Amino acid sequence: MANARQTRDASQLQSDFHPGFPVHLPCGVQTRSFSKLPPTSRLLPFRMRTLALLLAVSVSPLAAQSTADMAPVNDLPNPYRTVEGWAKMPAGRTWGSTSAVAIDKDGKSIWVAERCGVNSCAQSSLPSVLKFDASGALVASFGAGMIMSPHGIHVDRDNNIWVVDCSCTGGTPPIDPNAPAPPPRGHQIVKFSPKGDVLLTLGRVGGGRDTSFFWQPNAVITAANGDIYVAEGHSSRAGATARILVFDKSGKLKRTWGSWGKGDGQLDQPHALAFDSRGRLFIADRGNDRLLIVDPNTFAVQATWYQFSRISGLWIDKNDVLYAADSESGSVSPPHSAWKRGIRIGSARTGQVTAFIPDPAPKPPSTSSAEGVAVDAAGNIYGAEVGDKALKRYERK
């Protein structure tokens, strides 16, 4: 009876570590470890014993081995098949670049902020915010003329839609020297209702730096208490803007953290944000090829991971499965050429990478594969692609 109980607990431990994936427990921890636990520990509730086991092994050797010069994490199974053309545009409209994809509160509808058939909406009157139902049919659209360069999108707990206007793509259109100067636009974050009503706008129109904001914002996410976190800065030029800003739910600035650089507590293109089940904030520090895990209140860095590669897009589901989209390694970023582009899937709890959906393009000259990533309640993955101008769906084989 004891052996049967130990086997059941070991299986449960594996599913707790990484639901839905083949599990690699931290090095040195095996399922038979339960037989070595003292009898008194086996009388504790299972989850308390699990916690005790994790504390016993302390830090996973994987985390200790996660360094800037670690071997590339490329050779992992791909348990997904690619579905192209799943989301259907209306007649006469084609996909433009997109890096912004999120899941509706219903768990199955998909929100996308798309760049109006090209790589910018600056010269377009098309709506840039699109909602697709579970079959891929377009069921809502809005935002025409409001977003120059949609870069990130977030659906909050009340099903409101936050869209980040990076104003960092598409170049500068020709200017008639005899025409009046155009009004400032972009560099803002807009909170929409699901019907497209504007509920809140963050940032000075036309952008701002230093004590003002924003300049080329990349991502937005809301915390459980309603605080708003924004990742700002889309340039790797020395001295560029690179920071995280925190606002209360009314839009009042509370604090900022970070500056451009390569050292501890510094950032280079903070490109995506996510929270895990413990409330830790994950920052995709793309220009530094790393993932920072910080306390959302103090910004104390709790861990720095390199095994998920050069991250453009980030998603963490309710089971703490982490999805990291790399659209810039390999031929796109020669200093990171040994790493392959694609979506790496792993655990936000242990840092273990368990699966990899590779970019099929061998040597593209610029961004390729998913730049934005989201996962619906059924586990289907959606990759928003800038280079290929597509939204791809990945289903379990």
pLDDT tens profile 90-104: 999 999 999 999 999
- Summarised one tens digit per residue, pLDDT across range 335-393 is 999 999 999 999 999 999 999 999 999 899 999 999 999 999 999 999 999 999 999 99
- Cα–Cα distance measured from residue 258 to residue 232, given in angstroms and rounded to the nearest whole number: 10
d(CA 308, CA 152): 20
pLDDT tens digit sequence for 220-259? 999 999 999 999 999 999 999 999 999 999 999 999 999 9
Give the per-residue pLDDT at 180.
Answer: 72
Q: What is the 3-state secondary structure (H, E, C) of 81-150?
A: EEECCCCECCCCCCCCCEEEEEECCCCCCEEEEECCCCCCCCCCCCCCEEEECCCCEEEEEECCCCCCCE
Distance CA(301)–CA(303), nearest Å, equals 6
* pLDDT confidence bin for 42, thresholds 50/70/90: very low
Q: Which segment of 30-34, 50-54, 133-137 scores lowest on mean pLDDT?
A: 30-34
- pLDDT tens digit sequence for 302-339: 999 999 999 999 999 999 999 999 999 999 999 999 99
Q: Is 44's pLDDT higher than 60?
A: no
**Ordered strands of the 301-305 beta sheet:** 270-275, 281-285, 290-294, 301-305
- What is the reported pLDDT for 27? 36
Identify the three-state secondary structure at position 6.
helix
pLDDT at residue 62, rounded to an integer? 54
| CA-based end-to-end distance of the chain | 37
Q: What is the full DSSP assignment across 151-201?
A: EEEEE-TT--EEEEE---SS------TTSPPPPP--S-EEEE-TTS-EEEE
State how far the Cα of 136 lies from the Cα of 86, in Å rounded to an integer: 6
Residue 184 and residue 206 in contact, taking contact as beta carbons nearer than 8 Å: yes
What is the rounded average pLDDT of the residues 19-34? Answer: 37
Q: Is the pLDDT of residue 10 over 50?
A: no
Q: Tell me the pTM.
A: 0.84
Question: Can you tell me the mean pLDDT for 284-311?
Answer: 98
Task: Check pLDDT > 90 for residue 265.
Answer: no
pLDDT band with cut points at 50, 70 and 90 for residue 45: low
Residue-level pLDDT at 175? 57
* The pLDDT of residue 19 is above 50: no
What share of the chain in percent tops pLDDT 70? 81
Phi, psi for 391 (deg, rounded to 5): -120, 115
Query: Structural domains in the chain?
Result: 2-58 (no CATH), 80-396 (2.120.10.30)
* Statement: residue 17 has pLDDT above 50: no
pLDDT tens sequence across 173-220: 555 667 676 778 899 999 999 999 999 999 999 999 989 999 999 999
Radius of gyration of the chain (CA): 22
Given a cut of 70, whether residue 171 has pLDDT beyond it is: no
Say how many C-beta atoms besides its own lie within 10 A of residue 21's C-beta: 19
Question: What per-residue confidence (pLDDT) applies to 177?
Answer: 66
The residue that leads in pLDDT, 88 or 23, is: 88
pLDDT score at 129: 98
